[in-house]
Amino acid sequence: MRFDVITLFPELFAPFLTCGVTRRAYESGLVDVRLWNPRDFADGRYRRVDDRPFGGGPGMVMLAEPLTLCLESIRADRAALGAPDAPTVLFSPVGEVLNHAGVERWSGSSCGAVLICGRYEGLDQRFIETHVDLQVSLGDFVLSGGEIAAMALLDAVARLQPGVLNDEASHQMDSFNPALDGLLDCPHYTRPEAWRGQAVPPILMSGNHAHIERWRRDQRLALTQRERPELVRAARRAGQLSMGDEAFLADLPKNPEPDA
């Protein structure tokens, strides 16, 4: 799949695309990332891409014309290479918050997207209304630009591609995954068995895999109920909680904490 990223700072993506396990997705072309700078499509000696907002107020607003010319060039390039049409996505507080289900949809997409990384006070609203198909948010906070949000989406999509992770099944045990019924993942431990007076839970050393899996399920339930109870309610509505799960939750105040 192909992602075209419109950004005033393409250099920010250089280390991101060449480091870590997800680089396999980019190097192999499983996730084809192409960077476009709207400044290359701006007029004038200084290739200006922003101006003061009408009506006054602080900050600057990104101009519609350089963004439009950049987007038109992307669409022409896609068409010349036979790439499918793709939605234009703006990272914005207005958008729907990105979650695991959304990442899975992007991961299974054949067309990818055009990702717009806004800066300053935002984009001219006329460009948004004319060209943006979807707005996406990472949460109820504001970043200095959309580049980090674009990297977050690309990273989440890349790690779900076949062959990217060392163990292709490992992402199925991630928090929010349907394989875990949308719950948070359980705590994990590794060597040494005792670290600064803290021991690994004995059940993990027992070798009894059935008991270990039950313990892990219980810890997922306990952690999710404590930190994200709405995820437990969603799993219950979907019929994903067993009688054993419900019994554990009903008795939860008497159960040990996840690190016990």
Question: Residue 33's pLDDT is what?
Answer: 98
Instruction: Determine whether 155 is an active site residue.
Output: no
Model pLDDT, residue 260: 45
Q: Which amino acid is at 229?
A: P
pLDDT of residue 183: 96
Q: Assign 3-class secondary structure to 25-88.
A: HHHHCCCEEEEECHHHHCCCCCCCCEECCCCCCCCCEECHHHHHHHHHHHHHHHHHCCCCCCCE
Which one is catalytic: 174, 185, 187, 236? 174
Among 10, 93, 187, 201, which one carries the catalytic annotation? 93
pTM for this predicted structure: 0.90
Q: Which one from 119, 159, 216, 220 is the annotated catalytic residue?
A: 159
For residue 169, the model assigns a pLDDT of: 61
Q: Give the pLDDT confidence score for residue 129 in this predicted structure.
A: 98
How far apart (Å, rounded) are the C-alpha atoms in residues 76 and 242? Answer: 53
Cβ-contact 135, 92 below 8 angstroms: yes
**Degrees (nearest 5) of the Cα angle 158, 233, 235?**
50
Residue 230 annotated in active site: no
Considering only CA atoms, which of 14, 24, 259, 60 is closest in space to residue 163?
24
Domains of the chain: 2-158 (3.40.1280.10), 175-254 (1.10.1270.20)
Please tell me the predicted confidence (pLDDT) of residue 150. 98
Q: Which of 32, 121, 155, 185 is catalytic?
A: 121
- At residue 255, the pLDDT reads 58
As averages over each run of 10 residues, the pLDDT of the chain (260 residues) reads 98 96 94 98 93 96 98 98 96 96 94 97 97 97 96 96 77 85 96 97 97 97 96 97 97 65
